[in-house]
Amino acid sequence: MEKLAVITGADGGMGTEITRAVAQAGYRVVMACYHPEKGRGVCERLKAETGNAALEVMPLDLSSLDSVADLTNRLLRRDERIDLLMNNAGTLETGLHITGDGLERTVSVNYVGPYLLTRKLLPLMDVGSRVVNMVSCTYAIGHLDFPDFFRRGRKGSFWRIPIYSNSKLALTLFTLDLARRVQGQGIVVNCADPGIVSTDIISMQMWFDPLTDIFFRPFIRTPRQGADTAIRLLLTPEGGQRTGTLFASGKPKALSEKFTHHPQMDELWQRTEELVYPWL
């Protein structure tokens, strides 16, 4: 049977490029999409472009833990081995939005949702399975203030960049922690920093955004260029030989002890476990 890959945010930007590469490599692909109708259009196009008909769309809203559980339960009932899990979907909210689960939406989509998705799918993974989490260089300026991190993204008033950075720090620490916990099972877990990429996540909702767009967008990476590091981690031999590693620009990037032995790593895991327990 063909190997199986699960890719979140597969209906746009880097997710489409990652899906294309994985499909071309011959994998069956579950395209987990926030916009299923858009996803089905992308799916049909990729089938024609790659010649791989084994692509399917499943709805996934990472701001709803019920939605995450619905998707994972469907896959668990199938009881098929997952070879690749790509946590690609992300958001950069421009205002404070609280989800039905009481979470700040950026934190839910970028961290808590992928955490729950990965934890529930681990029983379908085995020796050689790979998990890749899409992070960001902004993890380096992130801070975790508990319990404010989950409820509002940060201590104090809403500010989108610090909250985004905090969510990506949490996802990076989850990557490192999970890699240690499952290393004995032969499951490889890494994170990819795509750099600054020209995607829809760069919105035009703040007064200075059009100026940012004019001056910086011509110099930042295309979705295909941004996706390259994740694709390498998913598909190349080197991507299967390292675990608990951050890759940037297609190469491993050393993390300082500040992150590899982050003082809040254990607390983050325990608090998140308690939060998602009803869905586990």
Catalytically active residues, by annotation: 164
Residue 272 to residue 261: CA distance in whole angstroms: 18
Do 195 and 248 touch, CB atoms closer than 8 A? Answer: yes
Residue 70 to residue 22: CA distance in whole angstroms: 24
Phi and psi at residue 3, in whole multiples of 5°?
Answer: -70, 155
Do 5 and 22 touch, CB atoms closer than 8 A? Answer: yes
Distance between alpha carbon 23 and the CA centroid of its chain, in Å?
Answer: 18
First to last CA, the chain: 28
Sign of the CA dihedral running 166, 167, 168, 169: positive
Residue 244 to residue 111: CA distance in whole angstroms: 17
Residue type, 48: A
Residue 193 to residue 196: CA distance in whole angstroms: 9
The Cα-based distances of 49 to 37, 116, 215 in angstroms read: 19, 32, 34
